[in-house]
Amino acid sequence: MNHPDWNDFDLATIAVRAGQRRTDEGEHSEALFCTSSFVFKSAAEAAARFQNQLPGNVYSRFTNPTVHMFEDRLAALEGGECCVATSSGMAAIMATCVALLDAGDHIVAATGMFGSTTQLFKKYLTRMGNPVDFARIDDIDDWRSKITPQTRMLFLETPTNPLTQLADISALAELAYSHNALLVVDNCFCTPVLQRPLELGAHLVIHSATKFIDGQGRCVGGAVVGDKKTVGEDIFAYLRTAGPTMSPFNAWVFLKGLETLEIRMKRHCESAANIAMRLQLEPAVKRVYFPGLAEHPQHELCKRQQSDFGAVVSFEVEGGKEAAWRVIDSTELLSITANLGDVKSTITHPASTTHGRISAEERSAAGITDSLLRVAVGLESPDDIFADIKRGLGE
Ligand SMILES: *Cc1c(COP(=O)(O)O)cnc(C)c1O
């Protein structure tokens, strides 16, 4: 079968079809190659494969056919030339930094990122000789002011979690280009269904496949998408040497996840918008954070940059921590956990969990108040999700 040019197809089609390579068995679904190594027909073939003179598999830390199918499918979805899969989202970020930065190269990263990402930059990359400064995600002048002659990378995720602030990807891409730096976007919250950062000028896209790509909370994995040289040569070379590669079983689960990504994201977004609107009408709710609401300060940017508004709804209740905890403790359906991107809706109190280890001053500077709750909206009926939240609201 010829491989079509996926640019000619809609996203839902790419998500189901791109990347599949069938074996001679004629399997309809993607095959799972659970094997650590591969055998050769002769000594000469072994030698040629090891020396990269012949294409083909050698060892699953380097390449694996199931992982390869996942990589090709995700690359097509993001509109990138090349993708490499990693053992986790964090491994994707680490591999990107270690493969591309020299000691002394400076990073400007967004405030309000995933906690482990911030920690990775602050604690480990700084120690390895890559100083990092943080810029307010929605303030291009702040980004500009943090850039030094040593800056090689701008790093962000958008929208932020839990407050749903957006970065203007096109504006930041221009800024990065003009300073000869790379713009790296963690696209975990939007997935290519809602946002395609490479089309907006980003150099690289990072994924935690653990979230919406799996979509059912089963496996941990990650990926980097971008151009052939940066991803297919530089980051791939690091991965095959250092080893944080994706397991074939996880790649197979993620392939199945991608097949339903478009339809799931639509439903996640529809339900989130429904719940945000209803929360706004509740007298016990002080403020709702959701980019789909006209009052959201970046509502217009969100409409330009994303095809839908996402699945995270945060809100402040009247009455502080006690009132917020009462909402959580009154739920019968929602899972009390900080995970997201799952069919199961989750509820969390950021100030005492995900943001519990930073100081009270840092928290209030970041806008994480004691009365804030975050719901990652899953695929249960929105009526049931809302009723579960409402039970603990007010008296
Ligand atoms: C979860 C997450 C990560 C880390 O991914 P893992 O697969 O857990 O390593 C990175 N970025 C964002 C935005 C995330 O939500």
CA 365 from centre of chain: 24
Would you say the CB of residue 222 lies under 6 angstroms from ligand 1? yes
**∠274-280-284 over CA atoms, to 5°?**
130
- Of ligand 1's listed atoms, the one at least distance from the Cα of 91 is 9
Going by alpha carbons, the residue nearest to atom 6 of ligand 1 is: 89
Per-residue confidence (pLDDT) for residue 394, from 0 to 100: 78
Query: Which are the contacts of 356, defined by CB distance < 8 A and separation ≥ 6?
Result: none
Output the pLDDT for position 395. 63
SS3 assignment, position 348: strand
Pocket test for ligand 1, best of 96, 116, 337 (most atoms within 8 A of CB): 116
pLDDT average per 10 residues of sequence, the chain (395 residues): 78 96 96 97 95 93 97 98 98 98 97 91 96 97 98 97 96 98 98 98 98 97 98 97 98 98 98 98 97 97 98 97 97 95 97 88 88 98 98 85
> Is the minimum distance from the CB of 207 to ligand 1 under 6 angstroms?
no
Q: Is there a cis peptide before residue 162, judged by omega within 30 degrees of 0? A: yes
Write down the pLDDT at residue 3: 66
* Rounded-to-integer distance, Cα 163 and Cα 147, Å: 25
Residue 375, SS3 per DSSP = strand
Question: Which residue's entry shows tokens 């954070």?
Answer: 289
What does the alpha-carbon distance between residue 104 and residue 153 come to, in Å, rounded to a whole number?
Answer: 12
State residue 276's pLDDT score.
98
Looking at residue 2, what is its pLDDT?
56
Contacts of 75 (CB under 8 A, 6+ apart): 19, 81, 82, 83, 225
CB of 78 closer than 6 angstroms to any ligand 1 atom:
no
Give CATH superfamily name and number for 262-390: Aspartate Aminotransferase, domain 1 (3.90.1150.10)
157 lines ligand 1 (CB under 6 A): yes
* Other Cβ atoms closer than 10 A to 155: 24
Residue 295 DSSP symbol: T
Write the residue with the smallest CA distance to atom 2 of ligand 1.
208
Q: Whole-prediction pTM value? A: 0.96
Q: What is the CATH number of domain 6-259?
A: 3.40.640.10
Sequence ranges of the domains in the chain = 6-259, 262-390
Are 151 and 174 contacting, i.e. CB atoms less than 8 angstroms apart? no
